[in-house]
Chain A
């Protein structure tokens, strides 16, 4: 792990990159990284995030600045700008059931080719996918999902990069920290090694590539 400034970290992300962003309706989202992406105008992003948050909040800022060209998400109904951009064909949107979304990312981070899920069988979600029977029950083959970058927000990060999360801001963060080539983390609090007890580390330090230093 290397501690870097937010400017330095975002400079590593090229326009057109695939980026996973933690958070659920903007809760548990690395806001400082998103602000800097907007400032550096990293455009044409492939965004993988649970939702589109709301304008001005979380990944909503990326839609405000029209920086997203492809989106994989589970729900975008609370961001009218993301909806407009989808309906105007400015963004290609892939809507995925939330349990499938997180399992595809988990598979991507765990070396699996995908998962078999009953969710979506017999619905529009099944179109174009392989259906596989196991013990007489139908499942959809949902393939693994990875990205070039995961942008993760933690409550605590120690000097080595061990991470712990708070309440409902954990959500997709630890799963995404497994599923990208480069993992960049912001934390509410940067603390000495040992403050997070081994049993309370959720994301082990070797998974973290860059920790954003305090502003």
Chain B
């Protein structure tokens, strides 16, 4: 299975009926494709919409209905629109149940860095800092390693997105949580052993006696 699809399918299992969910760009966006149809989840687009729907059919897009990247989307029945002050009031105010974001690094305490690489890439943080500071539950969806280097590090070397730790990291190899501020291996991806995860993880990992395989 494609690594990104493993991640998206596993993250989708974290969503519950009635949740207000904000998905970041990249792998997080794919999560919406794997939410079971009977699960009533509200997706927020931070440019001012709750109830985002799929990309409209050719010729039906409207210039005033877009996602946060400016791409055409649709709105589901029951959708609502609002200005950016309300949108970020929802985010910072703890009204968003789950946010799923991409990551560049997550460290052993669960700190996330995902908004800049000094001297190389300074796009701006957009809504990421508010989402990590304010959403009830923060899930990072990212590849376990990039170019052979672990993205789960002992301590972030890139600028942090928030001092608040994230709750869960889902990668193509593992699910990691941070109880008591320590990275703990909860699950491994299908066909991946605990030893293989340890070998490509720079952070010290707490490994419980029983580490089940992801059910996706």
Contacts and interface: CB of A to CB of B under 8 A. Distances in A.
**Do A and B interact?**
yes
Given A97-B129, A170-B48, A102 B70 contact: no
B125 interface: yes
Contacts of A76: 123-124
Contacts of A25: 47, 66, 68-70
B125 A167 contact: no
B134 A168 contact: no
Interface residues of A, number: 48
B133 to A, nearest CB: 4
Given A75-B123, A75-B126, A76-B124, A123 B162 contact: yes
Contacts of A78: 69-70, 123
Nearest to A175: B85
Nearest to B121: A77
Given A102-B84, A175-B83, A24 B70 contact: yes
Nearest to A105: B85
B65 A168 contact: yes
A74 B70 contact: no
Contacts of B82: 170
Interface string A30-42: 0000000000000
Contact of A102 (B85, B125, B162): B85
Contact of A95 (B84, B85, B121, B124): B124
Interface stretch (A1-9, A12-20, A112-120, A191-199): A112-120
A119 B92 contact: yes
B30 interface: no
Given A74-B124, A98-B88, A170-B81, A28 B159 contact: no
Contact of A99 (B49, B130, B161): B130
A11 interface: no
A206 B163 CA distance: 42
Contact of B122 (A95, A118, A202): A95
A26 B70 contact: yes
B45 interface: yes
Question: Which 6 A-B pairs rank lowest in CB-CB distance, beginning with the nearest?
Answer: A77-B123, A122-B163, A25-B70, A99-B88, A99-B130, A75-B124
